[in-house]
């Protein structure tokens, strides 16, 4: 099933799976060595806050972090038995930007799987060992969780993930509407100024880096808080 993309995937210009998207094809072209072995994994990381007790009066918070395997065909990749939960962050409060402390072991494993060597595993179907690699293909989260996962603020200043430099996310949003819209002419909705800019296109990595290089990202505990303790072996203790 992990080789479904190369062996059984139907190409008919229909969008049924991430493999049909242009972003997936662009990644395969750029990392052709990784894409050559269909068994290499493509993960989607997803997380959100849940109240395990289902009571509005309770503020207890739990953050399950799951990995969806996008190698599998569309009728399997979202089935519960094929979704991995490597991290479960227990309450009573939300982790906020401290979520990176809990994600650190997972990130280290993803970095190992993305390395050129990978991890030696056994293929039961082909009866052979091979070196497995993995790619974090995307993250699935709502807007508040995006702030915690990326460390970028999502309130007021520098909140827009597309323009960054804008003072407010709403100031640049009209560029994503159709060009025939009348909203761009109604300056009263945008601090008295009409906005005629178009949607950003064809941005390179260098363009994006230039936009975000001055954005200050603060992970983990802030000033005045206690560091996370370690045991005798140097492992994090939660």
Total domain count for the chain?
Answer: 2
Task: Please check whether residues 46 and 127 belong to one and the same domain.
Answer: yes
Look at strands 134-140 and 41-47 and give their pairing. parallel
CA 177 to the chain's CA centroid = 25
At residue 238, the pLDDT reads 40
d(CA 52, CA 61): 7
| Domain span holding position 14 | 1-142
Task: Please check whether residues 15 and 124 belong to one and the same domain.
Answer: yes
Could you tell me if 139 and 149 are in contact, meaning their C-beta atoms sit under 8 angstroms apart?
A: yes
- What tens-digit pLDDT sequence spans the chain (238 residues)? 888 878 888 778 888 888 888 888 888 888 989 988 889 999 999 998 888 777 667 778 889 999 999 989 889 988 999 999 999 998 788 888 788 889 999 999 999 999 988 999 999 888 999 999 999 988 888 887 887 787 766 666 666 666 655 544 444 555 555 454 555 455 555 555 665 655 555 667 777 677 767 766 666 655 544 444 444 444 444 4
Task: Please check whether residues 134 and 159 belong to one and the same domain.
Answer: no
Domain assignment present for residue 223? The answer is no
At residue 145, the pLDDT reads 83
At residue 186, the pLDDT reads 55
Domain assignment present for residue 189? The answer is yes
d(CA 238, CA 233): 14
């Amino acid at each position: 099933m992990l080789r479904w993309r190369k062996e059984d995937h139907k190409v008919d210009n229909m969008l049924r799976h991430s493999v049909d998207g242009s972003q997936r094809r662009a990644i395969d072209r750029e990392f052709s060595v990784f894409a050559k072995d269909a068994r290499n994994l493509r993960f989607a990381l997803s997380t959100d806050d849940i109240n395990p007790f289902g009571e509005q009066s309770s503020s207890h918070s739990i953050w399950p972090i799951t990995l969806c395997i996008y190698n599998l065909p569309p009728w399997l990749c979202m089935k519960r038995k094929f979704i991995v939960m490597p991290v479960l962050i227990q309450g009573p409060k939300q982790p906020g930007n401290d979520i990176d402390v809990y994600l650190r072991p997972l990130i280290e494993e993803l970095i190992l799987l993305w390395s050129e060597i990978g991890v030696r595993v056994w293929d039961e179907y082909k009866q052979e060992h091979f070196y497995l690699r993995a790619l974090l293909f995307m993250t699935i989260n709502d807007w508040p969780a995006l702030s915690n996962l990326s460390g970028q603020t999502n309130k007021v200043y520098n909140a827009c993930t597309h323009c960054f430099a804008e003072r407010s996310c709403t100031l640049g949003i009209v560029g994503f509407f159709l060009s025939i819209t009348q909203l761009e002419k109604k300056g009263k909705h945008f601090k008295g100024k009409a906005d005629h800019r178009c949607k950003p296109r064809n941005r390179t990595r260098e363009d994006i880096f230039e936009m975000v290089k001055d954005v200050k990202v603060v992970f983990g505990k802030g000033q005045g808080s206690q560091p996370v303790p370690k045991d005798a072996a140097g492992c994090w203790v939660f």
